A and B are shown apart, each in its own frame.
Chain A
Amino acid sequence: MMPATARAAEPSRAPDARSATPQASVPAHIVRFDRKTRVLHIVIMVTFLALSATGMPLLFSDAPWARVLATLFFGFKGAGLVHRIMGATLLAAVVFHVGDVLWRAFVKGERGLFWGPTSMVPQPKDFTDFFGMLKWFVGLGPRPPIEHFAYWEKFDYWAVLWGTAIMGLAGLILWFPVAASRILPGWMFNVALFVHGAEASLAIGFIFAVHFFNGHLRPGKFPMDLVIFTGSVSAHELQHERTAEFERLRDAAGFASVAADAPTAFSVQRGYVIGAIGLSLGLVLFVLIVYATIR
């Protein structure tokens, strides 16, 4: 999620790495997500799916499947317990991530986290990229050269951060109302429940429709993009998908620091299995929401 300033231990070279052409310095695979980021994504994935499945029976309490879904978790008390455990885990993971970013920036002195081509902070280029994409969609121009994080990926990232902060805070108020009432008036529980539900609708809809499409199901990625599970991307894909990043690395001779081994067959298979389970569960929940909404 955050810029993966990759420090691959053993850079692998393309088969013809020794030849004298300029292409020789381009490794076959390039690190995109370090281990910490991949684990963070798995934690978010698992907790998000579980939070959705255990929260939806209450959010859509008038849907005919609401009670059935709650019963899968041994009733409302079981679902509530799973929801709290998963919520606390997600909150802890996001707090850990923010702490990690701050530590990298201010203790280790890592540059480029808050501004620059690999930063998650929106850059002027993101706006020109957006209009470039719109032009490309309608055939008025070429696909704009995307950098390390595309604007739609940055939106995903900040949505998770914002959503977890808002829903986590509201969730804690609802979890410990008596304690919360020492600081807040009781009508804030009403606001907390409303915001928790509204933000949940937004997050669930956004992840299961927009993120699934942009990250996995869209043309060029279908049925899924394994990079978040294997951690690396092929040089060919980088050149095509993130032309600006590819060219920046090539011009600065920066490939050496981000070269990666080819993903093992095992990590590819594991990625497909985890990804397929996540996508399927998410799409099932999405269908339930659509059914409850249009019924």
Chain B
Amino acid sequence: MWIRFGSVVAVAWLLGSQAAAGETPKPPANDDCLACHGDHVDAKQFEASTHGPMACVDCHADLAKVTDFPHAEKLAKVKCASCHDDIGAKYQDSIHAWAKEKAGLVVAPACADCHGKHDIRAKSDAVSRVYRVNVPITCGKCHDGIKEQYDRGIHAAKLKIGDSRAPSCIDCHTAHTIQRSDTTAWRLAVTKECGTCHASVVDSFQRTFHGKVTEIGFTAVATCADCHGAHDILPAANSASRVSKARLVETCGRCHTGANEQFVKYDPHPNPGDYKRSAVLWWANRFYWILIPGCFGFFGLHSALWFWRGRKQS
């Protein structure tokens, strides 16, 4: 980005000097702009922003050649993608761009709605709208109900106390390629996302019927969010959690009509190697680890000898 930014500045400077040589008027300097616009553009805020070193006309490009001031009231829209073209392309594939540009939902966000205008900060900057901890506030400007749910969950609590691994909106939904959450592709991808932190939990899930059906690409069965919830995930120890003892019958019963206290003793994350988790499963695992190699070893040898004998005879 800095290289691109550098080249933009260099080109602008080159064009500027050529323009000067050809008696073309210099583009207005930032101070010239602020002479009129200082009331609604905070110069200090702009200088502190990630675009601080840039000229107003780098973004408001149609003013670069204007000599007649005050300029026309209606200006061309700022095109972020003229520098950030890769991110622009991603955004074009997202549900936000689709809503705004194809479906005509004018309130759907474009760049500035999330990043700001003259006060854009890098995502690593703690005061940025897109700093990890602030992302839920930014998304919550529109998705207020979801943010309320998110704030109740363990992930929001972790994020607020500074655990940078805790997921905010963009970890599951991505920042620029946000998709509908009811598509098969998205539902399958988000399970993998949970596994970036909860690897062993996703491993054990994949041993189950739920996990295996999901793994071959069908979404008719429960994945992470169906039991744990999506935005308001809470640890099982919390009685408000969907997977707490108090609510398991209700949660399993959403699919398994008639589920009871006995039913919910099912382990959705089994581990045959963990004796303490389930002794019976552990013993079953042991039994078949002896039976299967035993049978194949015995009859493999039997067949091999027979084959060898038969060939010798013929």
Contact = CB atoms under 8 A, between A and B. Distances in A.
A181 B313 contact: no
Contact of B265 (A139, A185, A202, A219): A185
Interface in B266-314: 266-267, 270, 272, 278, 280-281, 284-285, 288, 291-292, 295-296, 299-300, 302-303, 305-311, 313-314
A217 to B, nearest CB: 9
A150 B265 CA distance: 45
Given A58-B209, A178-B256, A181-B260, A195 B284 contact: yes
A117 interface: no
Chain B: interface residue count, which band? 35 or more
A186 interface: yes
Interface in B221-239: none
B262 interface: yes
B220 interface: yes
Contacts, number: 137
B32 interface: no
Main secondary structure of the interface of B (DSSP, over half): helix
B256 A177 contact: yes
B47 to A, nearest CB: 54
B54 interface: no
A194 B278 CA distance: 12
Nearest to A184: B262
B267 A190 contact: yes
Contact of B295 (A57, A191, A202): A202
A150 B248 CA distance: 53
Interface string A237-256: 00000000000000000000
A186 B212 contact: no
B291 A218 contact: no
A219 B307 contact: yes
Q: Determine the main DSSP class of A at the interface with B.
A: helix
A191 B270 CA distance: 9
A218 B262 contact: no
What interface size band does chain A fall in?
35 or more
Contacts of B262: 181-182, 184-186
A138 B256 contact: no
A178 B215 contact: no
B309 A137 contact: yes
Interface of B: 206, 208-209, 211-213, 215-218, 220, 256-260, 262-267, 270, 272, 278, 280-281, 284-285, 288, 291-292, 295-296, 299-300, 302-303, 305-311, 313-314
Interface of A: 57-59, 61-62, 66-67, 70, 75-77, 133-134, 136-139, 152, 155, 174, 177-178, 181-182, 184-191, 193-195, 198-199, 201-202, 205-206, 209-210, 213-214, 218-220
19 contacts: A57-B216, A58-B216, A61-B211, A61-B213, A62-B206, A67-B217, A76-B216, A137-B308, A181-B260, A186-B264, A187-B266, A201-B288, A201-B292, A202-B288, A210-B296, A210-B303, A214-B303, A218-B303, A219-B310
